[in-house]
A and B are shown apart, each in its own frame.
Chain A
Amino acid sequence: AQSVTQPDIHITVSEGASLELRCNYSYGATPYLFWYVQSPGQGLQLLLKYFSGDTLVQGIKGFEAEFKRSQSSFNLRKPSVHWSDAAEYFCAVGAQGTALIFGKGTTLSVSS
């Protein structure tokens, strides 16, 4: 069955430090992979997506993610975190049609 695992429930990073959020997926075929961010009271916003091709994808707000088929991973990274990056981050895999299967999310806190 298709599934997404985000091993870290909560991460705290100092402002200006680098960030890596982990995501592992289970999917039979070539996956469509996504990272979304959700701020309090806001809907989900797409940060980046991977369909095929270059395994390092660039997104908005300075985020990037790397697809590693051998590890079934799609980790999200940012070289320097800003206080405004504090939010909930969700990794998702595309299923049939537009259906997305989401992980449980990782809460990012940014300390000054």
Chain B
Amino acid sequence: DAGVTQSPTHLIKTRGQHVTLRCSPISGHKSVSWYQQVLGQGPQFIFQYYEKEERGRGNFPDRFSARQFPNYSSELNVNALLLGDSALYLCASSLGATAYNEQFFGPGTRLTVL
């Protein structure tokens, strides 16, 4: 079975631009979570979506938004990019919406903002 997939693998943008990152969960998984991992730090929770509804939001500005589609894939959007948005963006999927459900992480999208 395919694991969690993310696209693109790498992305370079300039300040002020907009970016869309995509995530396809493991087949049958209905929950998708997004994390930001700045170099040298642990991942930081951004959003959780379950059955197309937002179930959790981390401490990120409104420039960050996400959505989940009927096939449970998800997009993370970031507007008005700042240099500090440069990071590895990780997507994780799980069967259910609680911590009891093991999360499986994708390889991430490396975003560089110049």
Question: Which residues does A use to contact B, with CB under 8 Å?
Answer: 4, 32, 36, 41-46, 49, 51, 90, 92, 94-105
Contact = CB atoms under 8 A, between A and B. Distances in A.
Interface of B: 3-4, 31, 33, 35, 40-45, 48, 50, 55-56, 58, 90, 92, 94, 97-108
B98 A98 contact: yes
Contacts of A99: 33, 45, 48, 56, 58
Contact of B98 (A36, A45, A46, A97): A97
Nearest to B107: A43
B92 A42 contact: no
A46 B102 contact: yes
- The secondary-structure label for the interface of chain B is loop
B107 A98 contact: no
26 contacts: A4-B42, A32-B99, A43-B90, A43-B106, A43-B107, A44-B43, A44-B105, A45-B105, A46-B102, A46-B103, A46-B104, A49-B102, A51-B99, A90-B43, A94-B99, A98-B31, A98-B48, A98-B56, A98-B98, A99-B33, A99-B48, A99-B58, A100-B45, A101-B45, A104-B40, A104-B42
A100 B108 contact: no
Given A44-B105, A45-B105, A97 B40 contact: no
